[in-house]
Structure 1
Amino acid sequence: MRIIVGLWRWRHNPLRRGTDLVEAWVALTAVLLFALATPAVGWIFANTLDTSLRNTVRVQHEQRHRTTAVVIERAADHRPLAYDAESVSDHSSGTRVTATWYAADGSARTGTVSAPLRKPRAGDTFGMWTDRRTNKQVRGPMDATSARVHAVLAGFGATALAVGLVECARRLIVWRLVQRRYQRLDRAWAATGPDWGRTDAGS
């Protein structure tokens, strides 16, 4: 409000230059964008992403099946692998084992999978997710809370990016205005400089 009042009073100031008025309007526009536009950009982006991620969560839960596997033996190739049976935020190490489990249709399956066990032994159990169509082990579906957190963080990121773009645009415009002032000053000095200080030049 003080910026608006000051701008209104300053517009008739006899010392005001045209570039000064433009710079003031640019500053006012930037303040309004910071207060209104950039939060709106963040909210729209977060809301759109949240809708998309919630749909992804729903589809993943429909396509994936949670089951319990029973270790038969450690696989011949028992190199540790990245394992993610619960969610995308779980990064515990896994070990290749031969195990048996029940598919979504209730049939028993046996295969080599990754287990979140450092020293798996026959009879050990662990939870894992499988694809309902292929019955292969897959990563666990994203949960709704993680989806919401990702959307909120993305919204804040979009707001920060919008703020940065507005500020960069403001600084670029002000820089151009300053350059124009210097150019006008140089032209004025070039016109009056040679006569500066001469008694017959009216100085």
Structure 2
Amino acid sequence: MSGVWRWRHNPLRRRTDRAEAWLALVTLVVMVLAVPLVGALCGTRTDASLRQAVAEQRLHRHVTAAVVVARAERQTATSQPDGSTGRVTRTKVIANWTAHDGSSHTGTIGTPLNAPAPGATFQLWTDDHGGPAPRPMTTGAAATHAVFSGICAAAAAAGLIEGIRRLIVWRLIRRRYERLDRAWARYGPDWGRTGAGS
């Protein structure tokens, strides 16, 4: 606002100066109003979507006990299946388990056990058909993802608004220099020109 008033009665004021000052004010108002709104909307929608996904995962994923039959191979995963961070080293084993519907299954799956011996048991998540499935996402992880998406959306909105402001200012400055060049060509010194007496 001070930029607008500073140019209000200044005799050196150009139209581009006044436009630039008003643009700064409008950008500030839009940022104060739009950025939090965009962040809140994105975060709320993401939260609703993830809560629905968590509810569906809890409905269709079931925990059971798997029994190690034999060791298969070792593998390293870079992230947890529930979306949390951290490295998890899993050993692949051949195991037996009973699904939610009572059917028996055998397969090669990863186990969190460090030294799985035949007969050892561990927790296994399965889908409705008894196949291995990732652990359902927790409500805490869903809320964290929703907050992060809201922050990212707000930052992207702020960056877009600032980018548009900078583009308009750049065009105003170019127009200002073009007018200055035309005025200089019309009224400026003619040093070095033919017939100028130099």
Q: Which TM bucket (shorter chain)? A: 0.7 to 0.9
Contact 2:76/2:88, CA 8 A, preserved across alignment: no
Per the TM alignment, residue 70 of structure 1 is displaced from its structure 2 partner at its CA by 1.6
Q: TM-score, normalised by structure 2?
A: 0.86
Per the TM alignment, residue 85 of structure 1 is displaced from its structure 2 partner at its CA by 7.7
3-state SS of paired residue (1:136): coil
Question: Over residues 79-116 of structure 1, what are the superposed CA-to-partner deviations in whole Å (9 max), with x where a residue is unaligned?
Answer: 42539786232641212212222211233333322111
Q: Does 1:191 align with 2:173?
A: no
Q: Distance in 2 between matches of 1:60 and 1:140?
A: 8
Q: Distance in 1 between matches of 2:105 and 2:160?
A: 55
Contact 1:84/1:140, CA 8 A, preserved across alignment: no
Q: Distance in 1 between matches of 2:3 and 2:77?
A: 61
Q: Does 1:144 align with 2:157?
A: no
Q: Distance in 2 between matches of 1:79 and 1:56?
A: 31
Which residue number corresponds to residue 122 of structure 1?
A: 118
Q: Does 1:42 align with 2:19?
A: no
Which residue number corresponds to residue 101 of structure 1?
A: 97
Q: Distance in 2 between matches of 1:142 and 1:40?
A: 27
Q: Distance in 1 between matches of 2:61 and 2:77?
A: 19
Contact 1:83/1:116, CA 8 A, preserved across alignment: no
Q: TM-score, normalised by structure 1?
A: 0.84
Question: Over residues 41-80 of structure 1, what are the superposed CA-to-partner deviations in whole Å (9 max), with x where a residue is unaligned?
Answer: 11111111111111111111111111111212223xx242
Which residue number corresponds to residue 87 of structure 1?
A: 82
3-state SS of paired residue (2:137): coil
User: Alpha carbon RMSD of aligned pairs, Å?
Assistant: 2.2
Contact 2:3/2:21, CA 8 A, preserved across alignment: no
Report the count of equivalent residues.
190
Contact 2:70/2:95, CA 8 A, preserved across alignment: yes
* Unaligned segments of structure 2, at least 5 residues: 192-198
CA separation of 1:62 and 1:68: change in aligned 2, threshold 3 A: same
Q: Distance in 2 between matches of 1:72 and 1:121?
A: 8
3-state SS of paired residue (1:155): helix
CA separation of 1:92 and 1:195: change in aligned 2, threshold 3 A: closer
1:128 partner amino acid: L
Contact 1:85/1:129, CA 8 A, preserved across alignment: no
Question: Over residues 159-194 of structure 1, what are the superposed CA-to-partner deviations in whole Å (9 max), with x where a residue is unaligned?
Answer: 111111111111111111111111111111111124
Which of these residues, 156, 168, 171, is aligned with residue 173 of structure 1? 168
Contact 1:81/1:114, CA 8 A, preserved across alignment: no
Contact 1:85/1:128, CA 8 A, preserved across alignment: no
Deviates more, 1:33-42 or 1:83-92: 83-92
* Unaligned segments of structure 1, at least 5 residues: 197-203
Which of these residues, 40, 58, 61, is aligned with residue 61 of structure 1? 58
